[in-house]
C-alpha cells in the first residue's frame, strides 16, 4: 500500500494531471494549486544560492510555466495551526477541554511521530495528542473548502499539491480523516518532496536562479456574495441572492451572509513570504508558551531560554511565578528522545505541560525529503538552511492579514463547530505495529 502511495503522490503524478489538462475538453480541466512549505523554500534557496523571497517568486514562476494555476505559501495556513494550538493548550490547562484529553499536550504537526504513536503505543498516547491539524492539512481545508467556494468549483475540480520537507507528509495527506466522501477527493491530492521539486526542475531543464521572478499568489476574503451568483453548498446548488461586495469583484465565495461585516474584500496571504518566530519545525513551543504565560499568568515573555537536557534535541523551557514553576514545556526531536519521553509518560513521571515532538533530529529543516549536497557536510548545509529559513520576515499569527476575517467569515467564529471540523482532526490506535515511510528510526 505504501508503494502505491508513493507512485500516486509524486512529481510524475503532478505532471500527468498538468498534461491531462492540456487535452481536456473545455470545462473538464482541474484547477491545479501548489502550496509550498517554508522549509522546502529554504532548502531550495540554499541549493541555488538565492534568498528566500527570490526563491518563492522564482518557484512561483516555474510552477506557472509548467501549467500550475495558483501557488500559495503554507506559512499562511500555519497561522491557524498556531492559534488553534494556543487555544487548545489554555483550555486543557484550565481543565475546560473534553475530559478524555490530558496533559501534557503533545504537538501533532509531525506525521512521522503521529504514525509511531498510533501504531506502536495503541491508544495510550492518543488522549495527549493535540487535535490541531498540521499546516499542510489546514491548507487542505483552505484550498478545498474556502478557495473552492471562491472559484465556484466543487472540491474535486481542484488538484491540490503540497511541497514538503518529508515523505511522511504523503502518509498524512492520505489519512481517511482528510478525505471527502461527498466529493470523493482528498484535501491534499499529492505531496511532493523538496527533492522531487528539484528533480522536476532538472527534468524540465530549468535552473531556478535563471528564471524571472513572478508575484506570489494570495487568497482573497470577499465577505459578501454577489447577487445572483450560484454556488455549491454541501453538494447542492444554492443561489446567493443577497449582499454585494463593495470592491466590485466579479466572483465571490458562498460565505454565510449573517457574518458579512464589514462589507468589503481583503487580501489574506502576504505578497512577501512570511514566517513565524521559533525553530524550523514551526515554532509551536514558542507560540504556545508565550501565549499561555500571558493568558494564564499575565506574564509577557519576550525571549525564550531553552535548557538542554540529554542533548541538543531534548530541551526544556520553564516559567516561574513566586518561586514556583508554573509552566514546564519541552521539545523532543528524534526517535531516541521520543522514546525517552514516552517512557516518562508511562511511568507517570513526565513533568511537562506541553511537548513539541518531531521525528527528525533537528526537526523539519532536516527532513528526509530535503535536498542533500554531496559536496557540503550535512551540518554545514543544515546551518545554511536554518539561516535562510530565519531570514524571512516574521509575524504573530493573530496579526497576519486576513486571519481574523477568515475566522469570522469562513469559519463562523473562533471555537465554532465549523472551525473544529476544518482545523482539527482525530487519531486512531492501530494494534499491530508496522513501519512508516521515511521515518529514520
Residues lying near ligand SF4 in the complex (CB under 6 A) are found at: 110-112, 165-166, 168, 281, 358-360, 363-364, 367
Contact present, 280 and 59 (Cβ < 8 Å): no
CB of 181 to ligand SF4, least distance (A): 27
Count of CB atoms situated within 10 Å of the CB of 351: 11
CB of 170 to ligand SF4, least distance (A): 10
CB of 168 to ligand SF4, least distance (A): 4
Decide whether 43 or 269 has the Cβ nearer to ligand SF4: 43
Decide whether 368 or 402 has the Cβ nearer to ligand SF4: 368
Contact present, 257 and 112 (Cβ < 8 Å): no
Decide whether 358 or 392 has the Cβ nearer to ligand SF4: 358
CB of 64 to ligand SF4, least distance (A): 27
Decide whether 111 or 155 has the Cβ nearer to ligand SF4: 111
Question: What is the rounded distance in angstroms from the CA atom of residue 248 to the CA atom of residue 252?
Answer: 10
Decide whether 220 or 281 has the Cβ nearer to ligand SF4: 281
Question: What is the rounded distance in angstroms from the CA atom of residue 115 to the CA atom of residue 106?
Answer: 13
Decide whether 107 or 411 has the Cβ nearer to ligand SF4: 107
Cis amide prior to 385 (ω within 30 degrees): no
Tell me which residue of 31, 34, 53, 32 sits closest to 42, measured CA to CA. 53
CB of 210 to ligand SF4, least distance (A): 29
Contact present, 313 and 364 (Cβ < 8 Å): no
Decide whether 208 or 360 has the Cβ nearer to ligand SF4: 360
**CB-based closest residue to ligand SF4:** 367
Count of CB atoms situated within 10 Å of the CB of 191: 31
- Strand pairing class (229-233; 324-333): unpaired
Question: What is the rounded distance in angstroms from the CA atom of residue 339 to the CA atom of residue 348?
Answer: 14
The partner residues of 131 in beta bridges, in order of sequence, read none
CB of 35 to ligand SF4, least distance (A): 15
Question: What is the rounded distance in angstroms from the CA atom of residue 97 to the CA atom of residue 344?
Answer: 23
The partner residues of 220 in beta bridges, in order of sequence, read 267
Tell me the C-alpha to C-alpha distance, in Å, between residue 125 and each of 128, 233, 245, 358, 427: 6, 37, 47, 15, 10
Which grid cell sits at 275? 514566517
CB of 437 to ligand SF4, least distance (A): 10
CB of 262 to ligand SF4, least distance (A): 38
Which grid cell sits at 172? 498524512
Decide whether 112 or 401 has the Cβ nearer to ligand SF4: 112
Amino acid at each position: 500500500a505504501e508503494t502505491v502511495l508513493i507512485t500516486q503522490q509524486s512529481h510524475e503524478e503532478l505532471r500527468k494531471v498538468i498534461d491531462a489538462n492540456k487535452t481536456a475538453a473545455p470545462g473538464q480541466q482541474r484547477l491545479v494549486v501548489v502550496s509550498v512549505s517554508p522549509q522546502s523554500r529554504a532548502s531550495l534557496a540554499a541549493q541555488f544560492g538565492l534568498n528566500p523571497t527570490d526563491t518563492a517568486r522564482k518557484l512561483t514562476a516555474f510552477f506557472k510555466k509548467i501549467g500550475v494555476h495558483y501557488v500559495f505559501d503554507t506559512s499562511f495556513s500555519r497561522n491557524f495551526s498556531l492559534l488553534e494550538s494556543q487555544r487548545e493548550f489554555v483550555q486543557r490547562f484550565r481543565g475546560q477541554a473534553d475530559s478524555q484529553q490530558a496533559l501534557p499536550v503533545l504537538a501533532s504537526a509531525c506525521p512521522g511521530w503521529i504514525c509511531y504513536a498510533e501504531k506502536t503505543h495503541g491508544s495510550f498516547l492518543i488522549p495527549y495528542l493535540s487535535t490541531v491539524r498540521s499546516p499542510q492539512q489546514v491548507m487542505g481545508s483552505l484550498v478545498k473548502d474556502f478557495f473552492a467556494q471562491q472559484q465556484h468549483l466543487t472540491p474535486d475540480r481542484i488538484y491540490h499539491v503540497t511541497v514538503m520537507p518529508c515523505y511522511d507528509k504523503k502518509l498524512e495527506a492520505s489519512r481517511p480523516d482528510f478525505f471527502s466522501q461527498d466529493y470523493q477527493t482528498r484535501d491534499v491530492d499529492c505531496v511532493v518532496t523538496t527533492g522531487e521539486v528539484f528533480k522536476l526542475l532538472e527534468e524540465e531543464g530549468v535552473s531556478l536562479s535563471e528564471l524571472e521572478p513572478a508575484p506570489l499568489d494570495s487568497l482573497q476574503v470577499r465577505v459578501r456574495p454577489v447577487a445572483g451568483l450560484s454556488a455549491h453548498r454541501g453538494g447542492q446548488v444554492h443561489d446567493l441572492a443577497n449582499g454585494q461586495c463593495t470592491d466590485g469583484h466579479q466572483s465571490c465565495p458562498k460565505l454565510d451572509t449573517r457574518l458579512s461585516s464589514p462589507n468589503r474584500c481583503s487580501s489574506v496571504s502576504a505578497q512577501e513570504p512570511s514566517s513565524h518566530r521559533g525553530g524550523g519545525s514551526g515554532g509551536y513551543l514558542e507560540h504556545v508558551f508565550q501565549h499561555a504565560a500571558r493568558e494564564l499568568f499575565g506574564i509577557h515573555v519576550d525571549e525564550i531560554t531553552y535548557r538542554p537536557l540529554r542533548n541538543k534535541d531534548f530541551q526544556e523551557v520553564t516559567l516561574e511565578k513566586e518561586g514556583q514553576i508554573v509552566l514546564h514545556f519541552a521539545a523532543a526531536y528524534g526517535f531516541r528522545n521520543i522514546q525517552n519521553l514516552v517512557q516518562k509518560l508511562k511511568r507517570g513521571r513526565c513533568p511537562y505541560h506541553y511537548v513539541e515532538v518531531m521525528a527528525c533530529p533537528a526537526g523539519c529543516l532536516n527532513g528526509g525529503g530535503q535536498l542533500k549536497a554531496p559536496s557540503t557536510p550535512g551540518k554545514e548545509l543544515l546551518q545554511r538552511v536554518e539561516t535562510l529559513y530565519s531570514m524571512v520576515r516574521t509575524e504573530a499569527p493573530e496579526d497576519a492579514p486576513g486571519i481574523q476575517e477568515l475566522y469570522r467569515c469562513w469559519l463562523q467564529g473562533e471555537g465554532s463547530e465549523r472551525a473544529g471540523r476544518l482545523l482539527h482532526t482525530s487519531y486512531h490506535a492501530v494494534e499491530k505495529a508496522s513501519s512508516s515511510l521515511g521515518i529514520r528510526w
